[in-house]
Structure 1
């Protein structure tokens, strides 16, 4: 888990450095109304962080296997109106959520990492899979923002 924790820490640093240097026009540009801008992708990563922070926390005390509902990604981005939000607010929120998640990674052990999870598809996995998948997802979208 230490490697995953370090990877997340590195991605947080890259994100903060890269996004804080980007122009507002670069962050708000969208190729079409159906496509998210870089700022909206950051908003999506905030929503992902919020939802996964709750999952990573609840699995510690809820009945196993832990089951959760998928969240409506596009609806959350629209409802939060990330396109018109102040970038420093979004960046601070994203950083804070991910630092909390990074801390949760650091306190897991073999038992907790093995807690069973029922994914939205009905497939059964475990907490470790969820945590790795979260960081993979974050990295994928961070490349879209910084690229």
Structure 2
């Protein structure tokens, strides 16, 4: 039930924001404060997060268990992918399409798979259900930043 609620929230987030992001004024999207990401870069970070979680959500099905969660360098990826200079329509479409695929995966996952154990870098253990719901929470957090 928790995952079903997360999926519903996830779909609402996608529906509410896919058309909204391109309407944000470019000056607002690209405004930079030293040491902080611009709104465009936050959206780019959400693309990177979606890419890495799409890999995690699929890989866990066929790799050795327990699955070992690999962190990634968020700051370097945002810079390397040059989200600040990317067209907002392209960036939004990239974000939307990857996340639509994640929704499809989340809807198809079975109970056995949701219980697969995941070992984090600090050696604590979570399951796929937690990782999926946490992904939606993380997305929601950054969407609030983008809409503020």
- In structure 2, what is the Cα distance between the partners aligned to 1:9 and 1:71? 25
Specify the SS of the correspondent of 1:117: strand
- State the Cα deviation string for residues 29-74 of structure 1 (Å, max 9, x = none): 0122x21000000000000000000000000111110002100000
TM-score, normalised to structure 1, is 0.96
- In structure 2, what is the Cα distance between the partners aligned to 1:121 and 1:14? 35
- In structure 2, what is the Cα distance between the partners aligned to 1:5 and 1:63? 27
CA-atom RMSD, angstroms? 0.9
Asked if residue 74 in structure 1 is aligned to residue 78 in structure 2, the reply is: no
Question: How far has the Cα of 1:129 moved from its partner?
Answer: 0.5
- State the Cα deviation string for residues 88-114 of structure 1 (Å, max 9, x = none): 110000000000000001011110100
Contact 1:18 1:146 in 2 (8 A): no
- In structure 1, what is the Cα distance between the partners aligned to 2:105 and 2:121? 22
Question: How far has the Cα of 1:21 moved from its partner?
Answer: 1.4
Asked if residue 5 in structure 1 is aligned to residue 1 in structure 2, the reply is: no
> What are the ranges of 5 or more consecutive residues in structure 2 without an aligned counterpart?
none
TM-score, normalised to structure 2, is 0.95
Residue in structure 2 matched with residue 94 of structure 1 by the alignment: 95
